């Protein structure tokens, strides 16, 4: 009887922009101890993938670790796998970057390990049928994804113990289905359960394929204790060693060469099962989860489950406009740069290098992992995008002072946008609300408007359920859980922070709010909006006046009243000069209804990343704030200027008005699910400047506002 081939594939990755101490912790708790354990068991053959971010980290901080890897590669224990260098979702980046990112990592592995990888790890297992063509061009011969993909094509569990051929335009690729069963067993259940699973395959002489994250061996909650301190991993390797008479540890590459294909298959657009659930709209995600739970109770549920489709990864761009804007900004820049062959240039001057970093997948989506909800990861992508764009523009514009204007629907949302640039900054306006979506300081490579809208997520119901449980109900036995089973609350009272916005949290949003003004209602987004300007389109006109570029947004709308609305018009003219990171807005409000009172407010949402850090705070001339944190809450009167200072980045953001106003300020905070449970995250500071208005027919209100960025030295 032939042996059962055990294919053990590990993927290791950290996002672009993650903190160095997080990478170091992952190294000490997962990457190093895993390899140290592996060294003791020469019979174990592992296919392993490290993203380019980790290769850079190892070279800079732990070159000794690379030497250990070289020895294991040389003695045949490790098969190195390639992938996109900065772990992009390959399906949603241009073909030239698919190939370029893979070749960049392959060349690194060749240089550091002396081997040429033929297998590839597909980021988040996001499969689309067009991929084989680019993968083959990049030198890839086989990949591993999830058995979920194959089940969607109609295959059964017993059909998934080997590899299949697939192709696009006659470019043939071998695809391995990683076992979901093993993904949930390893390393969370006793190692004997994996042996039991393998033993059930003995009669068929087939392969058992495990392919999952290396961080689950030490970084995921409680796993360092179970995997290393309690000895799960070594016990697992020992059990394999005790049964080598019928188990053969084997790399994916060896199996792909020695064994025949199980046939041909064409796979649908998919990822792993959980990702397909997370990509659904929130309401659909909740309903989908209920159906999955019901199927667990039905005798035929497991057979039916393989026909459930779930969602599609690209729908994250519809679910989160912030993700879509960032993705489309990167695509737009890539199109401008082009893919022509260029002479070698230094890394620091190569816009493609920074653009590749901006394609790192983690901050484009959200599920159990923080991803999009982590401001420092979003910032890292913008930082690299801004650097790439600055390098490109520096070569395009030879003069010292210049302004560039692009008017288009760059993000495919049906609304017209305007990209306005000078050497110091980039502005992205939307005709929807006549709002400002992005403001980049090029000197610091910083988008100061990188906030995130508070949205309802499918998992928020679990917070409300936890609130209503007694302490006895919440107590459970201590055991190692997968991240899909962890719903711990990192602080009490999180249910009080479940606030959701009716509009996107951007800047230069125009409000009309009836009196009496209620701060708490506005903060909780439970107030009554009298106007119809926030979510409606404005007309846009672009004009040049010497060294000044102007953009006029205008909208004729109405103020609510019984039986109709009073007509009111907003015109706001934005202007920039050729050399300053400052945008000036001149507002004119014209009214032609009956006499009435209202409050006109302009909302800004600014994110300097740290709401509680002592080196980032408000400075408001004429006031000594008791709490000046960017996450502070408060109301002030007779305000003419506000500054948000960032000593870490040595920059300040200022807002100036030529008419004193009232100010409301509060933090934008989301409650999201991460690997270790529910947490509250600062997403930016909301500032509402407002003026009480006594409206009369043909009476105008005017105000001028400046939003700017200034560097400062300590």
Does residue 231 come out as left (phi exceeding 0), alpha (psi in the -120 to 50 range) or beta?
left
| Interval 242-269 mean pLDDT | 97
| CB half-sphere exposure, 589, CA atoms < 13 A | 27
Beta-carbon contacts of residue 396 (< 8 Å; ≥ 6 apart): none
Nearest of 643, 641, 649, 647 to residue 628 by alpha carbon: 643
Q: Which two tokens stand for residue 33?
A: 């101890």
pLDDT confidence of residue 346: 80
Q: Please measure the distance between the N-terminal and C-terminal CA atoms of the chain and give it in whole angstroms.
A: 74
**pTM score of the predicted model:** 0.94
Residue-level pLDDT at 475: 47
Position 477 scores a pLDDT of 44
pLDDT at position 2, please? 81
Name the helix (H) or strand (E) containing 253.
helix 252-258
Tell me which residue has tokens 């140290």.
Answer: 36
Q: How confident is the model at residue 487 (pLDDT cuts 50, 70, 90)?
A: low
pLDDT at 712 over 90: no
> 305 to each of 151, 271, 281, how far by Cα in Å?
9, 15, 20
266 neighbors 153 (Cβ within 8 angstroms):
yes
Catalytically annotated residues: 124, 213
Angle of helix 321-337 relative to helix 375-396, nearest 10 degrees? Answer: 20
Structure token pair of residue 309 = 């489709």
| 187 within 8 A of 210, measured Cβ to Cβ | no
What would the pLDDT profile of 78-126 be if each residue is shown by its tens digit?
Answer: 999 999 999 999 999 999 999 999 999 999 999 999 999 999 999 999 9
Per the model's pLDDT, the better-predicted residue between 440 and 476 turns out to be: 440
Report the share of the chain in percent with pLDDT over 70. Answer: 96
Band of the pLDDT at 209, cuts 50, 70, 90? Answer: very high
User: What is the tens place of the pLDDT at every residue in 679-705?
Assistant: 899 999 999 999 999 999 988 999 999
Taking the CA atoms of 96, 128, 262 and 251 in sequence, report the sign of the dihedral they define.
positive
The answer to whether 675 touches 369, Cβ cutoff 8 Å, is yes
Per DSSP, 3 falls in state P
CB atoms within 10 A of CB 61: 13
- Span 28-36, average pLDDT: 98
The DSSP symbol for 672 reads E
User: What's the average model confidence in pLDDT over 464-483?
Assistant: 56
| Band of residue 347 on the pLDDT scale cut at 50, 70, 90 | confident
Nearby residues of 527 by Cβ (< 8 Å), 6 or more positions away: 513, 518, 521
- Cα dist from 175 to 51, 140, 142, 224, whole Å: 20, 11, 6, 31
Per-residue pLDDT for 490 more than 80? no
SS3 content of the chain, % helix, strand, coil (to 5): 35, 30, 35
Taking alpha carbons only, the member of 320, 306, 326, 267 closest to residue 128 is 267
Residue with structure tokens 């969602």? 311
- Distance between CA atoms of 184 and 152, rounded to whole angstroms? 19
Q: What CATH code is assigned to 4-271?
A: 3.20.110.20
Tokens read off for 672: 């999201």
Range 566-592 average pLDDT:
96
pLDDT tens readout for residues 261-315: 999 999 999 999 899 999 999 999 989 988 988 988 888 887 888 888 889 999 9
Are 480 and 233 in contact by the 8 Å Cβ rule? The answer is no
3-class state of residue 158 by DSSP? helix
219-235 confidence digits (pLDDT tens): 999 999 999 999 999 99
CB 583 within 8 A of CB 575: yes
pLDDT at res. 481: 54
Give, in degrees to the nearest 5, the angle at Cα 251 between 248 and 253: 130
Amino acid 299: pLDDT: 85
Residue 250 has a pLDDT of 97
Half-sphere exposure of 635 (CA within 13 A, CB side): 8
Residue 306: predicted pLDDT: 81
- Reply yes or no on whether the pLDDT at 255 is more than 60: yes
The dihedrals phi and psi of 604, each to the nearest 5 degrees, come to -125, 145
Name the pLDDT band for 195 (thresholds 50, 70, 90): very high
Q: Which residue do the tokens 């993700």 mark? A: 323
Instruction: Give tens-digit pLDDT for 513-572.
Output: 998 999 999 999 999 999 999 999 999 999 998 889 999 999 999 999 876 789 999 999
**pLDDT 10s digits, 156-194:** 999 999 999 999 999 999 999 999 999 999 999 999 999
The dihedral formed by the CA atoms of 105, 66, 378 and 124, expressed in degrees to the nearest 10: 60
Rounded Cα–Cα distance for residues 453 and 464 (Å): 21
Identify the residue whose tokens are 């260098």. Answer: 85
pLDDT at residue 256 is higher than 90: yes
Looking at the chain, the whole-number percentage of residues with pLDDT higher than 90 is 83
> Is it the case that residue 651 has pLDDT exceeding 60?
yes
pLDDT at 478 over 50: no
- Residue 143 pLDDT more than 70? yes
**Region 244-262 average pLDDT:** 97
User: What rounded mean pLDDT belongs to the chain?
Assistant: 93
CATH 3.20.110.20 region(s) of the chain? Answer: 4-271
Q: Are 684 and 607 in contact (CB under 8 A)?
A: yes
Nearest Cα residue to 503 out of 539, 529, 541, 468: 529
Least confident of 95-104, 396-405, 633-642: 396-405
pLDDT at 562: 74
Count CB-CB contacts under 10 A for residue 555: 20
Say how many C-beta atoms besides its own lie within 10 A of residue 499's C-beta: 15
Tell me the backbone φ, ψ of residue 85, rounded to 5 degrees: -55, -50
Count the Cβ atoms, other than its own, within 10 Å of residue 518.
14
Q: Determine the Cα–Cα distance for residues 254 and 240; give it in Å rounded to an integer.
A: 18
Structure tokens at 285: 């995600």
Do residues 135 and 121 lie in contact, with contact meaning Cβ atoms separated by under 8 Å?
no
Residue 479: per-residue pLDDT: 53
């Amino acid at each position: 009887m032939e042996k059962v081939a055990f294919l053990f594939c590990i993927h290791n990755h950290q996002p672009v922009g993650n903190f160095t101490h997080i990478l170091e912790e992952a190294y000490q708790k997962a990457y190093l101890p895993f390899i140290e354990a592996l060294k003791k068991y020469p019979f174990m053959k592992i296919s392993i993938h490290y993203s380019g971010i980790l290769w850079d980290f190892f070279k800079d901080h732990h070159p000794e670790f690379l030497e250990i890897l070289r020895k294991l590669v040389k003695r045949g224990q490790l098969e190195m796998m390639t992938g996109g260098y900065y772990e992009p979702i390959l399906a949603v980046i241009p073909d030239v970057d698919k190939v370029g990112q893979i070749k960049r990592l392959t060349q690194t592995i060749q240089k550091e390990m002396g081997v040429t990888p033929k297998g590839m790890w597909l980021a988040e297992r996001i499969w689309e049928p067009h991929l084989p063509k680019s993968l083959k061009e990049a030198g890839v011969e086989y990949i591993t994804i999830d058995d979920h993909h194959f089940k969607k094509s109609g295959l059964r569990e017993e059909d998934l113990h080997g590899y299949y051929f697939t192709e696009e335009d006659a470019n043939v690729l071998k695809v391995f289905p990683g076992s979901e069963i093993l993904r949930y067993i390893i390393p969370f259940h006793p190692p004997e359960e994996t042996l039991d699973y393998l033993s059930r395959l003995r009669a068929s002489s087939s392969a058992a394929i495990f392919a999952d994250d290396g961080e689950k061996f030490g970084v995921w909650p409680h796993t360092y204790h179970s995997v290393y301190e309690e000895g799960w991993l070594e016990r697992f390797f020992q059990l394999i060693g005790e049964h080598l008479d019928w188990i053969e540890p084997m790399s994916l590459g060896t199996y792909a060469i020695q064994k025949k294909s199980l046939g041909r298959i064409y796979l649908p657009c998919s990822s792993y099962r959980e990702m397909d659930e997370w990509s659904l709209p929130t309401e659909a995600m909740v309903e989908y989860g209920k159906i999955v739970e019901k199927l667990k109770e039905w005798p035929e549920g497991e057979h039916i489950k393989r026909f459930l489709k779930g969602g599609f990864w690209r729908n994250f761009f519809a679910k989160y406009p912030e993700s879509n804007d960032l993705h489309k900004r990167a695509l737009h820049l890539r199109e401008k740069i082009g893919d022509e062959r260029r002479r070698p240039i230094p890394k620091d001057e190569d816009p493609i290098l920074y653009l590749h970093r901006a394609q790192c997948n983690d901050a484009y989506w959200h599920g159990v992992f923080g991803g999009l909800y982590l401001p420092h990861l979003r910032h890292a992508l913008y930082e690299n995008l801004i650097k790439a764009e600055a390098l490109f523009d520096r070569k395009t514009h030879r003069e010292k002072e210049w302004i560039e204007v692009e008017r288009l629907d760059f993000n495919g949302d049906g609304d017209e946008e305007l990209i306005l640039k000078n050497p110091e900054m980039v502005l992205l306006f939307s005709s929807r609300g006549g709002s400002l979506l992005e403001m980049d300081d090029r000197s610091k490579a910083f988008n100061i408007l990188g906030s995130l809208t508070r949205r309802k997520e499918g998992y928020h119901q679990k917070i409300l359920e936890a609130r209503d449980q007694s302490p006895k109900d919440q107590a459970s036995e201590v055991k190692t859980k997968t991240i899909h089973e962890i719903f711990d609350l990192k602080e009490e009272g999180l249910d009080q922070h479940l606030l959701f916005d009716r509009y996107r949290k951007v800047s230069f949003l125009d409000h009309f709010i009836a009196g009496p003004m209620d701060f708490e209602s506005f903060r909780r987004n439970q107030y009554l909006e009298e106007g119809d300007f926030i979510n409606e389109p404005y007309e846009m006109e672009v004009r040049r006046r010497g060294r000044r570029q102007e953009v006029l947004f205008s909208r004729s709308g109405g103020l609510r009243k019984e039986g109709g609305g009073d007509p009111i018009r907003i015109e706001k003219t934005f202007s920039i000069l050729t050399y300053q990171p400052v945008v000036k807005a001149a507002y004119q409000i014209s009214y032609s209804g009956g006499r009435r009172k209202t409050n006109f407010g302009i909302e800004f949402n600014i994110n300097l990343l740290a709401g509680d850090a002592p080196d980032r705070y408000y400075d408001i001339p004429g006031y000594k704030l008791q709490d000046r944190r960017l996450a502070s809450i408060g109301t002030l009167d007779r305000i003419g200027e506000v500054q948000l200072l960032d000593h870490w980045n040595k920059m300040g953001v200022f807002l100036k008005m030529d008419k004193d106003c009232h100010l409301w300020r509060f933090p934008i905070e989301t409650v999201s699910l991460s690997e270790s449970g529910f947490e509250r995250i600062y997403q930016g500071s909301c500032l509402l400047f407002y003026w009480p208005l006594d409206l009369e027919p043909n009476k105008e209100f005017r105000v001028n506002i400046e939003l700017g960025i200034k560097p400062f030295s300590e």
